[in-house]
Amino acid sequence: MRENQYTEKKRLDIVIGKTANWKELAKDCVCFANSRGGLILIGIADNENLPPQNQKIDASLIFTIEKKISENTVNVGVKSSIKIAENGGEFIELQVLFTSSTIASTTDAKYYYRSDNTCVPLLPDELSRLFTDKPSFIWETMKTNVAVTEIDELKLVNFKADIQKSSRTTINIKQKTNEELLDHYFLSDDGFLTNIGVLWLGKRKDRAKLLYSPTIHFLKFDEKEQKVNKLLWEDYSLNPKELIEAIWTQIPDWKEGVDVADGMFRKFIPNYEEEVIRELMANALVHRSYTTRGDIFINLYHNRLEVINPRLFPIGVTANNVLHKNVRRNPYLAQIFYDLHLMDKEGSGIDKMYLVLLSNAKQIPVPYQGDDFVKFTIDKRILNVEIVSLINNANNDFDLNYKELISLGLIAQYNSIKAIEFSKHLNLPNQTNVVNHWLGKLIDVGLIVSKGKTKGVEYLVSPAFLKKANFKGVTNLKRIENHRLEELIYQDVKIYQPTSISDINIRIGAEISRNKIQKTLKSMCSNNILKTQGSLKSTKYFIRQTE
């Protein structure tokens, strides 16, 4: 049993004796109440799955816990009970109820939110977003006045067929009756369809009455950014799966692309890959708020694609951590998408887009959060067609996982990249060995080599592998060896002295990092090869003895 967004484990001493920490427990209760509720298992240590075998719980402790929580929190509801684990040890299961219409806080007016398996404070702007997001937390399962008998029979038949052929559903789910299937996916409640039930299986007239069923605009612009085409899906006849299918099949521009050499063969690379389009639309439909008005826009320009979704990212998700965070605004809708193979994994397909784009030598998607919208931008350009063949060869030889493929594609694009820049491009968390985790076996099998240490470590594709793959990438100076760089700088300074580091960088090669040049200049000054005049930004370099 691991801690996650809905489960927390605590040692028993958090609620007994001198070590009792009621404020800490109150904080965790506020976190769960402001998220979607959860369980706190008191009496099980963080790194354990079971309580101590001889642990017994005094029944009166239940009342003490509930009393202390009510004294230290506002708008928090809990239910607690004593449970017996399989090893005979006892623990307390504290269920924190979700506050659907209010904001929970501690009595000293502090607000928290559950993000993954941690409790984080809510900033002022996030607090206001939580007020507006609260209704969307319960939108999916709210019962409508549409009876189950008014369901669209064809959509139900198709839905059941998709469930039965899915590799992500169990035999038990596949064998459910229609009524059981609706209940399992929260599509119905006591003989009536829920909001998500109407969205997926309802008739057009009922879907149109939802607040708010999605409408999608496709706009195409020419090189002068003048609108040249428009398609609109706003008649509410399609459920989410049908919408994604219509967007892919009814827009002819998706079929455009280029042929590139791949060894002895040719490979067609579309301007915008099917996996990317489907993932963008799936994310837009799953993560949008259905309690506020707003249309989804697909803007196609001559050099890029923009998908704009109304409302902001869910709390806890930003443009910087979108690759790694999995926060679902509509969890039951996300589960259907996952079970029907409409998303690569629950609630997120960003990593799949990274993989597809980098494997085709394109830039990674650019997320942006505006005042009331989220935008993903996809660049059409292929940066270097040789990278496509390089990655295919590497994957065929070493069977790389998706993180390794993403890492290799990114490093190949930049030819040489420092660990700090690598982390920045992938928005990696500041954790120990996180870069090594993404690189996986790339270094061990000789695909990637590293130079330098600690923060100065630099990664580049192995020259031996480039030679073996007959890589014909553009040559530049990013890989230049230190002694060659020193000679290059010396000859430049000899001609243009006294000169600044900025001018040196421009003349000898802008692709060489400024830090690398600065480090070499410092070394040359220490060895009395160069001298300086001025200080800080005004520093200029010249030859120690003019020749």
**What fold, for 7-122?**
3.30.950
What is the DSSP annotation of 69-86?
Answer: HHHHEES--EEEEEEE-T
Report pLDDT for 547.
Answer: 46
Distance CA 412, CA 361 (A): 9
CA distance 376 to 298: 10
DSSP symbols for 366-431: EEEE-SSEEEEEEE---S-HHHHHHHHHHHHHH---HHHHHHHHHHHHHSEEEHHHHHHHHT--S-
pTM: 0.77
Query: Mean per-residue pLDDT for 271-277?
Result: 95
pLDDT for 131: 76
Quote the pLDDT of residue 75: 93
- Fold of the domain spanning 124-379: Heat Shock Protein 90 (3.30.565)
Whether the per-residue pLDDT at 91 is higher than 80: the answer is yes
**Domain 385-468 in CATH 1.10.10.10:** yes
Cα angle 178-179-185, degrees, rounded to a multiple of 5:
90
List phi, psi (to 5°) of 429: -65, 155
482-543: CATH topology: Arc Repressor Mutant, subunit A (1.10.10)
Model pLDDT, residue 376: 95
Q: Which 8-state DSSP code applies to residue 35? A: T
Distance of alpha carbon 135 from alpha carbon 100, whole angstroms: 7
Highest mean pLDDT among 236-250, 321-335, 403-417 belongs to 236-250
Q: Which pLDDT value is given to residue 262?
A: 65
The full 3-state SS of 240-263, as one line of letters, equals: HHHHHHHHHHHCHHHHCEEEEEEC
pLDDT single digits (tens) 431-464: 778 888 999 999 999 999 998 877 678 899 888 8
Confidence at residue 299, expressed as pLDDT on a 0 to 100 scale: 97
Instruction: Tell me the pLDDT tens digit for each residue of 507-527.
Output: 888 878 888 899 899 999 998
Whole-angstrom distance, CA of residue 80 vs CA of residue 57: 12
- Fold match between 124-379 and 385-468? no
Q: What pLDDT score does 196 carry?
A: 96
Q: Stretch 111-124: mean pLDDT, rounded?
A: 85
Q: Which tops the pLDDT comparison, 282 or 347? A: 282
* Other Cβ atoms within 10 Å of 58 Cβ, number: 10
Beta 296-300 vs 216-221: how paired, if at all? parallel
Q: What is the mean pLDDT of residues 51-70?
A: 93
- The CA distance from 162 to 169, in Å, is 10
CA 45 to CA 60: how far, in whole Å? 21
Tell me which of 471 and 40 has the higher pLDDT.
Answer: 40
| Nearest alpha carbon to residue 137 among 15, 45, 37 | 37
Q: Where are the domains of the chain?
A: 7-122, 124-379, 385-468, 482-543
